[in-house]
């Protein structure tokens, strides 16, 4: 490089960046609202702003979609690749975030909403009891969630490991905070946040270290250069492989794959349930979107030699998730382990490779996202004086008291179990089909085995609700407010429609499953 | 007329309407359910008339788009085997609804829900027989579990709550294990078979030997659990013992036939080589099942469990008939599927009538009941005789066909299977003797219900079954005419030339005439 090197500003394609800009802008505006709008009005204002921002971003994504070509997909000096697949991932994150945000805003189930007013107050003190009972919850959750969503959207379109790392931090930090904001069971919530933060920091460190090693091999951090350097670099290939391994650890941590899954049950249990729903749906999309981009775009040149290793991780994830789910007695933890197992099924699709693998993964992410949001929304409804009653034994005989609620939850559980006529079946079929087509039959066999094991805990909940007699401690089911009802209805309807008529979404995922390098 | 889609949809729509009847109006729900089931029966009769016994293999075809990207369609078609099974379902369900008239009240649960579940079960069961698309079949095969699970778990009042929960979960898990293995096989078949689920297209696909064997195994284990064959049978006595008698009649009489039907429709034509390779094993399992289940049945104290075990023995006969790979044995096996549905259905319903009166399912709680309830005991006797295949009653014809069909190719198997007939006589006669004959159990005199003999409602339930058992015992031709061409088609890929034998009493008319 000469001394007269001129740093040229990269050209930014604002149409492509619009969705993210809208979100980050709205998030900043949300921070200002915290300062200037009276407390009583904040929840409504923030909720409306958040929804508008998300819907606006979604509109921008949808408007952008037909105009994306191979030529104009990449912008900001190729640091971002907002291609068809990227737009689909962004759209999925936005749609799922909109549904989750409805749960954030619910105030009729609990006085003041699901969040605590001030997280820093010592747990158990007089002040703390006072705020748990009376004070309206923090409304900072909305801008935090918007920052997180913006980060996720950047994460899935990053075409450069450095940008990806920045995006990872941008969406992770708000999530750590959000986890600590549960109104009830404050200690569990704080523990969850701290655990998530510490382990997440480790994972980020791994990612960063992997990034450094890959740079050492390829001399660049963007995927195109990495791809070009494979087998052409004078450096030792070990650097690249070790780098990929460490990058994968960072990404698999976010995806909750074994053996990097240990945070999941604690965090899912401790976090406020709307946040859990948000994380289970949106973080999964972001993590798998980025993982797929790294594998398909950056490291495709390795000839998928990493498949056996990731295959072992997929098998571990499916089996550990399923087996540990059997032993759970808390519904939030049960769903957490089920989400781990589902990460394993997703990996089967990813490892199937090719267009089919990618499209099956995209389908699964959407189907699972709606399903899991609906399931967690149901959990917010079963409550007693101490908040949500998530212990399995407390659900005995709910079917007799609230048949509609139990019926809907049974339907969701059948969807989790992959019974036909639900989105769960179609999604599972898609990933397993991609697995066999990609010569990964062994993964599919383990997937089937894991599904068999995992059916048992789901069935136990069904038995609890319908076949057991109601006990004295069986809580009643609260009538959901309009926001939770809407979120639930969307989740259940999508689960049903995707089970009966998946054609449009399959069409879409097949058409978009193409990353641009 | 779109008979097949109507047959599948009408019961499901009926289930929906019955489900929305308020709990406070149980009578309305029952009547509505009965009317729906009779409508289905009428459509079934229409389908039977429209079907041409000597026509092409699959008839009454319908096809609608579903998931074009995957090559999956809502396509319906029946062959003779499916048609007779559908006839059995549409006949049994109204009778079961009549027979279960007061069953749901005992459970203190919603009566409309019970009848809605029965109709949903009917629709999904018919769906497994009408679908001509493998994915559609799989869908019904799995969804079928859900109504049955709730029927057993919520309405089986003959056993304590813990036991029926156990039975319901065991039933669901066993079936789901089979179902998921089949899912793996379905996916594998889809990938290797050129991304289509169309059954007819898939019959023309040549799978390699290894692939074929694995796929066969995936399907076969699912069907063997469903049927059930030894050693996958342990869920059936629990489920049959816990389910209300009417539902048990459907469970054993029809739902289990999906297993044997699946073998005939999917395993044999799609994987002929693998079928031949695995046939000795399947026959072995069937034989063990015949002898073992019969011996266990002799030792049962619980009437409903006893009848469940007799069914396992009978399924052994069906298994032998299928895997003997002769046209006679094959026709016998399919005819057996029908006759067994009639005979065991009747037996379960009559046992249910006894149990409802006595309030107990234990054999030892009866004794001499025949003196108090002579007509009901008589019906019980006929049902028992049908079950042990007395000549003159329908099951005899089918058992005989299976045995002679097997004898021509494999004498030892036929001889061992014959032992099963002797054992059948033992368990049936002992059961009848210990419940209805001998000295009357003094407790029975004090029970008011034990003095009420067969009511008009119960008479209407058993009469058609008894008539059919006798008529088909003497003149099975109408059913055989439908079955034979289908069996010939089905076995044509697996029958080796030296085994080819003329099917019994098949009029030779060219296809499509």
Token pair 């034989």 in the structure block, residue: B287
Mean per-residue pLDDT for B124-141?
Answer: 93
Tell me the C-alpha to C-alpha distance, in Å, between residue B271 and each of B206, B213, B265, B317, B479: 8, 8, 10, 22, 27
Tokens of A26: 């709205």
Looking at CA atoms only, how far is residue B61 from chain A in angstroms? 21
Average pLDDT, chain B: 87
Residues in B touching A419 (Cβ below 8 Å) = 142-143, 145-146
**Residue B35 CB partners (closer than 8 Å, separation 6+):** none
List the single residue in A419, A448, A507 with the smallest CB-CB distance to B143: A419
Residues of chain A by 3-state class (helix, strand, coil), percent to 5: 75, 5, 25
Interface of B with A in 135-164 (CB under 8 A): 138-139, 142-143, 145-146, 150, 153-154, 161, 164
Q: Residue A388: what are its φ and ψ, rounded to 5°?
A: -70, 140
Query: A455–B150: do the CB atoms touch at under 8 Å?
Result: no
Nearest residue in chain B measured CA to CA from A503: B67
Per-residue pLDDT tens for B183-204? 999 999 998 888 889 888 888 8
| Least confident among A182-191, B139-148, B171-180, B360-369 | B360-369
Query: B188–A502: do the CB atoms touch at under 8 Å?
Result: no
Tokens of A433: 């089909």
Report the SS3 class of residue A7: coil
List the single residue in A433, A451, A507 with the smallest CB-CB distance to B190: A433
Q: What is the DSSP letter of B256?
A: T
Band (B322; pLDDT cuts 50, 70, 90): very high
**Residue A300 CB partners (closer than 8 Å, separation 6+):** A227
Tell me the C-alpha to C-alpha distance, in Å, between residue B358 and each of B297, B332, B348, B442, B447: 21, 37, 15, 12, 7
Query: A436–B181: do the CB atoms touch at under 8 Å?
Result: no
Q: Which of A245, A433, A415, A241 has its CA nearest to residue A351?
A: A433
Per-residue pLDDT tens for A152-196? 999 999 999 999 999 999 999 999 999 999 888 888 999 999 999
Contact in structure between A224 and A517 (CB atoms under 8 Å): yes
**Residue B63 CB partners (closer than 8 Å, separation 6+):** B73, B74, B75, B76, B132
State residue A3's pLDDT score.
Answer: 59
- Consecutive H or E run containing A355: helix A354-379
DSSP E strands, B134-241: none
- CB-based contact, B168 to chain A, within 8 Å: yes
Residues in A touching B153 (Cβ below 8 Å) = 463, 466-467
Nearest residue in chain B measured CA to CA from A452: B177
Residues in A touching B190 (Cβ below 8 Å) = 433
State residue B366's pLDDT score.
Answer: 81
- Give the ranges where B193-302 is alpha helix by DSSP (H): 199-203, 209-226, 235-242, 245-250, 257-262, 268-270, 272-298
Expressed in angstroms, the distance from the first to the final Cα of chain B is: 20
Mean per-residue pLDDT for B377-404?
Answer: 90
Contact in structure between A493 and A421 (CB atoms under 8 Å): no
Band (B455; pLDDT cuts 50, 70, 90): confident
State residue A110's pLDDT score.
Answer: 82
Mean per-residue pLDDT for A198-214?
Answer: 94
Residue spans per domain, chain B: 3-189+203-496
Residues in B touching A502 (Cβ below 8 Å) = 67
Tokens of B161: 């709550």
Whether the pLDDT of residue B506 is over 80: the answer is no
CA angle (B290 as vertex; B284, B292 as ends), nearest 5:
95
Mean per-residue pLDDT for B271-295?
Answer: 91
- The contacts found for B386-389 with CB under 8 angstroms, 24 or more apart, are B386/B339, B386/B342, B386/B343, B386/B346, B386/B347, B386/B469, B387/B310, B387/B314, B387/B343, B387/B344, B387/B347, B387/B424, B387/B428, B388/B421, B388/B424, B388/B425, B388/B428, B388/B429, B389/B421, B389/B424
List the single residue in A420, A456, A466 with the smallest CB-CB distance to B143: A420
**Residue A104 CB partners (closer than 8 Å, separation 6+):** A47, A50, A113, A114, A115, A141, A142, A145, A274, A278
Dihedral Cα A39, A43, A49, A54, nearest 10 deg: 150
Regarding predicted confidence, which is higher, B407 or B107?
B407
Contact in structure between B469 and B394 (CB atoms under 8 Å): yes
Residues in B touching A428 (Cβ below 8 Å) = 183
How many Cα atoms occupy the beta-carbon half-sphere of A250 within 13 Å? 26
Query: A432–B184: do the CB atoms touch at under 8 Å?
Result: yes
Beta pairing partners, A388: A383
Token pair 């105030």 in the structure block, residue: A107
Nearest residue in chain A measured CA to CA from B20: A404
Per-residue pLDDT tens for A424-478? 999 999 999 999 988 888 999 999 999 999 999 998 899 888 888 887 777 878 8
Nearest residue in chain B measured CA to CA from A444: B184
Looking at CA atoms only, how far is residue A398 from chain B in angstroms? 13
Contact in structure between B413 and B320 (CB atoms under 8 Å): yes
Euclidean distance between CA atoms A387 and A409, whole angstroms: 19
Tokens of B350: 């009559």
Q: Which of A456, A438, A204, A161 has its CA nearest to residue A314?
A: A438
DSSP E strands, A189-230: none
Beta pairing partners, B94: none
Query: B169–A459: do the CB atoms touch at under 8 Å?
Result: yes
Tokens of A264: 């999941």
List the single residue in B67, B153, B176 with the smallest CB-CB distance to A452: B176
Q: What is the DSSP letter of B232?
A: S
Query: B69–A506: do the CB atoms touch at under 8 Å?
Result: yes
State residue A137's pLDDT score.
Answer: 86
Query: A436–B176: do the CB atoms touch at under 8 Å?
Result: no
Euclidean distance between CA atoms A238 and A408, whole angstroms: 51
Band (B125; pLDDT cuts 50, 70, 90): very high
- CB-based contact, A436 to chain B, within 8 Å: yes
Mean per-residue pLDDT for B58-74?
Answer: 87
Q: Which of A511, A508, A158, A167 has its CA nearest to residue A366?
A: A508
Euclidean distance between CA atoms A218 and A212, whole angstroms: 10
Q: Residue B451: what are its φ and ψ, rounded to 5°?
A: -95, -10
Q: Which of A134, A173, A161 has its CA nearest to residue A27?
A: A173
- CB-based contact, A508 to chain B, within 8 Å: no
Band (B361; pLDDT cuts 50, 70, 90): confident
Q: What was the ipTM of the complex prediction?
A: 0.86
Average pLDDT, chain A: 91
Mean per-residue pLDDT for B109-114?
Answer: 86
């Amino acid at each position: 490089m000469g001394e007269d090197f001129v740093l040229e500003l990269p050209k930014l394609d604002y149409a492509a960046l619009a969705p993210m800009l809208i979100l980050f802008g709205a998030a900043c505006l949300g921070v200002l609202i915290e300062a200037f709008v009276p407390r009583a009005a904040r929840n409504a204002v923030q909720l409306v702003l958040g929804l508008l921002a998300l819907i606006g971003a979604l509109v921008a994504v949808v408007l952008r979609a037909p105009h994306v070509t191979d030529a104009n997909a990449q912008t900001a000096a190729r640091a971002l690749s907002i291609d068809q697949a990227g737009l689909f991932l962004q759209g999925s994150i936005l749609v799922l975030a909109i549904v989750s945000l409805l749960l954030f805003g619910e105030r009729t189930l609990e006085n003041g909403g699901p969040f605590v007013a001030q997280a820093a107050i010592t747990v158990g003190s007089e002040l703390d009891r006072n705020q748990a009972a009376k004070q309206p919850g923090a409304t900072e959750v909305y801008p935090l969630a918007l920052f997180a969503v913006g980060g996720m959207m950047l994460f899935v379109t990053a075409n450069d490991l450095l940008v990806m790392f920045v995006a990872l931090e941008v969406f992770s930090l708000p999530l750590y905070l959000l986890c600590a904001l549960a109104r009830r069971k404050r200690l569990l919530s704080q523990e969850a946040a701290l655990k998530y933060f510490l382990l997440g920091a480790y994972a980020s460190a791994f990612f960063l270290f992997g990034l450094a090693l890959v740079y050492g091999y390829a001399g660049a951090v963007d995927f195109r250069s990495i791809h070009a350097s494979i087998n052409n670099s004078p450096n030792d290939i070990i650097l690249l492989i070790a780098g990929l391994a460490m990058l994968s650890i960072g990404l698999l941590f976010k995806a909750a794959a074994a053996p990097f899954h240990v945070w999941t049950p604690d965090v899912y249990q401790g976090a406020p349930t709307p946040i859990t729903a948000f994380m289970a749906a949106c973080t999964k999309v972001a993590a798998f979107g980025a993982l797929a981009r790294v594998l398909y775009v950056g490291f495709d040149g390795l000839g998928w030699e990493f498949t056996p290793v990731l295959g072992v991780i997929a098998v571990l994830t499916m089996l550990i998730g399923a087996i540990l789910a059997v032993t759970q007695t808390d519904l939030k933890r049960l769903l957490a382990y089920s989400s781990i197992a589902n990460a394993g099924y997703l990996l089967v699709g990813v490892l199937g490779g090719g267009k089919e693998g990618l499209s099956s993964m995209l389908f699964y992410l959407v189907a699972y996202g709606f399903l899991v949001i609906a399931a967690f929304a149901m959990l917010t409804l079963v409550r007693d004086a101490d908040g949500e009653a998530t212990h399995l034994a407390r659900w005995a005989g709910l079917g007799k008291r609230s048949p509609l609620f139990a019926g809907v939850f049974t339907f969701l559980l059948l969807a989790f179990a992959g019974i036909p006529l639900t989105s769960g079946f179609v999604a599972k079929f898609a990933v397993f089909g991609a697995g066999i087509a990609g010569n990964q039959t062994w993964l599919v066999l383990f997937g089937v085995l894991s599904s068999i094991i995992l059916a048992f805990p789901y069935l136990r909940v069904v038995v609890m609700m319908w076949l057991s007699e109601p006990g004295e401690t069986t809580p009643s089911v609260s009538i959901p407010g309009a926001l939770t009802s809407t979120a639930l209805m969307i989740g259940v309807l999508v689960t049903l429609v995707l089970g009966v008529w998946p054609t449009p979404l399959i069409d879409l995922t097949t058409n978009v499953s193409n990353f641009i390098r | 007329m779109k008979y097949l889609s109507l047959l599948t949809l009408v019961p499901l729509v009926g289930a929906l309407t019955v489900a929305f009847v308020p709990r406070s109006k149980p009578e309305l729900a029952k009547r509505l359910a009965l009317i729906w089931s009779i409508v289905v029966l009428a459509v079934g009769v229409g389908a039977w008339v429209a079907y041409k016994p000597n026509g092409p293999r699959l008839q009454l075809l319908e096809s609608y788009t579903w998931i074009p990207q995957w090559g999956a369609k809502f396509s319906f078609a029946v062959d003779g085997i499916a048609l007779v099974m559908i006839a059995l379902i549409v006949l049994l369900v109204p009778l079961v609804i009549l027979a279960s008239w007061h069953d749901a009240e005992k459970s203190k649960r919603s009566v409309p829900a019970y009848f809605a579940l029965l109709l949903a079960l009917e629709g999904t069961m018919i769906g497994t027989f009408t679908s001509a698309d493998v994915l559609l079949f799989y869908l019904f095969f799995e969804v079928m579990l859900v109504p049955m699970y709730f029927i057993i778990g919520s309405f089986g009042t003959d056993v304590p709550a813990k036991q029926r929960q156990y039975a319901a979960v065991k039933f669901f898990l066993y079936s789901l294990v089979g179902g998921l293995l089949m899912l793996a096989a379905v996916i594998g078949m889809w990938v290797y078979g050129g991304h289509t689920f169309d059954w007819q297209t898939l019959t023309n696909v040549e799978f390699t030997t290894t692939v074929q064997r694995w796929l066969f195994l995936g399907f076969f284990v699912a069907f063997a659990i469903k049927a059930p064959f030894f050693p996958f049978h342990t869920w059936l006595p629990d489920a049959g013992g816990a389910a209300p008698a009417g539902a048990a009649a459907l469970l054993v009489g029809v739902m289990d036939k999906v297993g044997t039907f699946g073998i005939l429709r999917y395993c044999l034509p799609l994987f002929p080589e693998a079928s031949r390779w695995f046939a000795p094993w399947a026959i072995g399992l069937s034989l063990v099942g015949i002898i073992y289940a019969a011996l266990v049945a002799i030792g049962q104290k619980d009437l409903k469990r006893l009848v469940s075990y007799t069914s396992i023995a009978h399924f052994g006969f069906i298994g032998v008939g299928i895997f003997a790979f002769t046209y006679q044995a094959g026709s016998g096996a399919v005819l057996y599927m029908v006759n067994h549905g009639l005979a065991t259905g009747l037996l379960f319903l009559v046992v249910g009538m006894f149990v409802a009166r006595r309030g107990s399912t234990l054999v030892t709680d009866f004794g001499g009941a025949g003196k108090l309830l002579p007509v009901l005991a008589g019906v019980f006797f006929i049902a028992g005789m049908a079950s042990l295949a007395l000549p003159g009653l329908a099951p005899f014809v089918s058992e005989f066909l299976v045995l002679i069909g097997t004898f021509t190719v494999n004498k030892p198997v036929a001889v061992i299977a014959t032992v099963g007939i002797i054992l059948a006589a033992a368990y049936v006669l002992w059961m009848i003797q210990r419940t209805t004959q001998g000295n009357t159990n003094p407790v029975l005199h004090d029970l008011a219900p034990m003095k009420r003999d067969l009511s008009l409602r119960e008479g209407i339930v058993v009469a058609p079954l008894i008539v059919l058992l006798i008529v088909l015992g003497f003149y099975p031709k109408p059913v055989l005419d439908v079955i034979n061409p289908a069996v010939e088609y089905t076995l044509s890929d697996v029958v080796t030339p030296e085994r080819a034998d003329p099917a019994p009493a098949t009029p030779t008319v060219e296809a499509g005439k």
